[in-house]
Amino acid sequence: MIFKYKGINSEGKNLSDKVEALTLAEAKSKLKAQNIIYKSIKEDSASFFDNLEFSRKYKISSKELSSLSRELSMYIRSGITIVSALKIIQSHYEKNKKIKLFLTTVSTHLDEGKDFYTALDMQSVVILPEFFKHSIKVSENGGLLDEVLMELSRFLKEQDRINKEIKSAFAYPSFMIIISLLMISFMLSFVVPQITGIFENMDQALPTPTIFVIAMGDFFNNNFTTILAIIFISVVSFSVMMKKSYSFAYGVHKILLKLPLFGEIIEKSELARFSYIAALLTRSGVPFVHTVNLSANILNNLVLKELFVNASKEVVEGKLLSKALNASKVQIDYAFIQSIALGEETSEVENVLTNMSELYFEENRDKISTLLTLLEPALMLFVGASIGFIVAAMLLPIFSMSIN
């Protein structure tokens, strides 16, 4: 639980902050240990938005976690203890209350004599990836904490960069699609009905394109509110089903993998992420059995995630990962399975995984670039053709009248 308090510290400064504890008595004990005299302390009540999200834990971004890991690694390499390093880093996050509370909570657990992994695992302020915590656990026991933190920082920064590249790459096509749909809807709902009045007193038959556009205009004009409501309900229902129904989300992800071009991009993106984090965990000293399971849990596509989770269970039983993947009903890139098999034979799995992640990241970058190069003119052509068809359909009867 999170408790909100007001008090005075040992320097006589007024404080208004939060502390994490299981009970009110524990919260008071923690404040006393920090030489803070509290004036008032109570459980922090959930806000309206917290209740909407069904969770009060803060989902830390890859960029924030990368920055924290890098700073902590640099301080530890400089010979500063983890507790001192965390207290220094706290001063950098005065404006971000959640991160500051997270760092304070971890520092408190460390002051109580717990190790870094346990402190991270016990805190309930932010959601940390499982692979991150297990990397810390293994590296802390092996004396490689600073190196592993730096590796984790690089990985998280790379993931953040890739996500930003994809979002920025699809920003313009998404904008064009939305604008084109809005323009077509506007013309059918408001422009076309204004022009149809001209044709009502005409004795001649209207061309088929004109009849079609008028029918579409009438439909949009009469059902505009209903269409918007259906779209809104469909989007909300889809989002809820994706979060609440595993079988529905699994089916959607299965369809996405079968899409031409997009399916291959999604698959190779997931395989690249798996390879990168698996190589990192192996290099950190995590046993390969745990590495496969932890790496599988960072995947977003449920089909591939389930594939690797099931494969990790077979690896526990003594089966090779390459054979477990090859025997599965879900087919993935055969080159990936062959590479894993080669790495298992030569005991160079870490290097193979590193090379595969770099290869897949590079391939996807090229494919996305090619896709966008083709997509932009195609969207322009679609917008122009759609609006041109509507305008031409409206002008055809007028031309016919002029000729007659």
221 vs 238, more confident: 238
pTM recorded for the entire structure: 0.69
Collapsing DSSP to helix, strand or coil, 3 comes out as: strand
pLDDT in the model for residue 53: 44
Cβ(197)–Cβ(98) below 8 Å: no
Question: Order of strands across the sheet with 14-20?
Answer: 14-20, 2-8, 37-43
What percentage of residues in the chain have a pLDDT greater than 70? 92
CA distance 95 to 100: 8
* Strand stretches in 75-196, DSSP E: 126-127
Reading the block at residue 223, the tokens are 């059902």
Give me the pLDDT at residue 108, please. 84
- What band does 237 get if pLDDT is binned at 50, 70 and 90? very high
Looking at residue 138, what is its pLDDT? 76
What is the radius of gyration, based on Cα positions, of the chain? Answer: 29
**C-beta separation of 68 from 102 below 8 A:** no
User: pLDDT band at residue 217, thresholds of 50, 70 and 90?
Assistant: confident
Residue 55's pLDDT band (cuts 50, 70, 90): very low
DSSP string, 297-324: TT-S-HHHHHHHHHHHHHHHTT--HHHH
CA distance 162 to 150: 18
Tell whether the model's pLDDT for residue 210 goes beyond 70. Answer: yes
Mean pLDDT, range 44-59, rounded to an integer: 55
Structure tokens at 275: 């390879």
16-47: pLDDT as tens digits:
777 767 677 777 777 777 777 777 777 776 55
What is the C-alpha separation between 362 and 72, in angstroms, rounded? 30
- How is residue 334 written in tokens? 């055969």
Q: How far is CA 192 from CA 196, 199, 391, 402, in A?
A: 6, 11, 9, 20
pLDDT exceeds cutoff 60 at 292:
yes
pLDDT, residue 347, reads 85
Instruction: Pick the most confident of 34-43, 52-61, 150-159.
Output: 150-159
**Region for 38 from its dihedrals, namely left if φ exceeds 0, alpha if ψ lies in -120 to 50, beta otherwise:** beta
Answer whether 105's CB lies under 8 Å from 91's CB. Answer: no
The confidence score (pLDDT) of residue 51 equals: 46
**pLDDT tens for each residue of 294-325:** 888 888 899 999 999 999 899 888 889 999 99
Residues counted in the chain: 404
- The predicted structure's pLDDT at residue 50: 47
| In contact, 73 and 150? CB cutoff 8 Å | yes
Region 363-371 average pLDDT:
84
Which of 144, 123, 150, 122 lies closest to 65, judged by CA?
A: 150
pLDDT recorded at residue 83: 87
Contact 257, 329 (CB under 8 A): no
